[in-house]
Amino acid sequence: MSAEALSGRTPPDAIGPWQATHATENEIRMIAPRSALPVQGKYLLWGAGVAAALLSLRFVLIGAWLVLLFSVLDIGGLAVALYLFNKGPVPEERLRVVDGVVELVRLDGRGRQSRIALPAYWTRLEANGRTELDHALWLVFRHERYPIGQCVSADERRVLEPRIRALLQTARGTA
């Protein structure tokens, strides 16, 4: 669950992974796709644990009881890894223009936040992509390049490019 969803400001399903928030049209949110383990997946995990325990019982009967222990540890390790994956924050980027300043706020998968502020009038957007699977976006100010849209796919970056260009053009018109 994203930080906004936890704070109650914007529900995560109210907007898409790259839609502007309903609070302001000068902001674009980019959120990495994340799906929770569905109920069927949980049943499958429990079923795999039971199957591993039943298969290990044969080895327990012949005296190799460590096989049961290691199969339980394997399935338990998988369950813990899935739990920790769902518990972590979702990578997210926000691009907003406020008072002639382009602000890029990043939240990575570990919860660390970074913030970059650039003057809107002198900031430009560069796009580069050699194939359909490759499309990169950068905010450029002077000789500094900042990658943008790293948490979304190349197709989503392609869709996002005209929206970012329009946002920068609007900011230049008001700056």
Q: What is the pLDDT along the chain (175 residues), one digit of tens a residue?
A: 344 443 444 444 444 444 444 445 788 888 877 766 677 877 888 888 888 888 888 888 888 888 888 888 888 888 888 888 777 788 888 888 888 888 989 888 788 888 989 888 888 888 888 777 788 888 889 888 888 888 888 888 888 888 888 888 888 775 4
Instruction: Count CB atoms within 10 A of the CB of residue 10.
Output: 15
Domain shared by 17 and 97, yes or no:
yes
Q: What pTM value is reported for the model? A: 0.59
For residue 134 the two structure tokens come to 């490759």
Residue 26 belongs to a domain with what CATH number? 2.30.29
Do 24 and 103 lie in one domain? The reply is yes
Contact by Cβ (8 Å): 152, 30: yes
135: domain range? 3-32+90-174
Are 166 and 104 part of one and the same domain?
yes
Co-location of 76 and 106 in the same domain: no
Distinct helix (H) and strand (E) counts, the chain: 4, 7
Residues 103 and 117 in one domain: yes
Token pair in block for residue 168: 């920068």
Total domains in the chain come to 2
Residues 154 and 116 in one domain: yes
Closest of 92, 94, 100, 97 to residue 26, by C-alpha:
97
> In whole angstroms, how far apart are CA 131 and each of 127, 139, 148, 155, 158?
12, 21, 18, 11, 12
